[in-house]
Amino acid sequence: MSLTVPALAQDAVGITPDVMSVTVETASGPQEIARIQDNDHVIEDDWGRTSRPCPNFCIQPMIPAPGVTPIGELELLAALQSPEITVVDSRTPDWFYAGTIPGAVNMPYTEMTDRMGELGCEIDFDGWDCTAARDVALFCNGPWCGQSPTAIRRMIEAGYPADRIHYYRPGMQGWRMLGLTVTGGGS
């Protein structure tokens, strides 16, 4: 005698108990961010790796410079929805085009101090005047990636106010681990 067990309905995967998705404005129009609905989904390939040689892939501090505010996914989602905050993917273009957080702009860490004018700073005789600097949130590949911390420290040295910088340390690895929407080439 065989017993047939009915298939269980898959549980919905929300961002919070009350929020299934958020919509953010991107350069190509509105983009919905949600979590992958497959309850059996796992991270594979490079994003599933837990160990990389240090240096160069050493664990980064939660606060890369005094005055910088660390944030999590919910705060980053709020930043993506705010017209007052610019979310910056500070990775090199190859990483950005392979997949990024919807609504993020690519400003590679190697170019940050040259591009601070895009964030409200103005060039003056002594370097940058950042009295009108925008709030920004930077991220890179994950807790072991030094691109955002390097960009943040360089920005502050060039005159960007630390209290206007937010750091999403989990980066793309944390974003993908939670099954959140990724946009771009190899998403």
Q: Which residues are catalytic?
A: 140
Write the DSSP string, 6-19: PPPPPPP--SBTTB
Length of the chain: 187
DSSP class of residue 89 equals: E
Taking a C-beta distance cutoff of 8 angstroms, is the pair 151, 109 a contact? yes
DSSP class of residue 117 equals: G
List phi, psi (to 5°) of 31.
Answer: -135, 130
| CA–CA separation, 65 and 78 (whole Å) | 23
By CB atoms closer than 10 A (0-12, 13-18, 19+), residue 183 is middle
Residues paired with residue 21 on neighbouring β-strands, in sequence order: 34
| CA–CA separation, 88 and 109 (whole Å) | 10
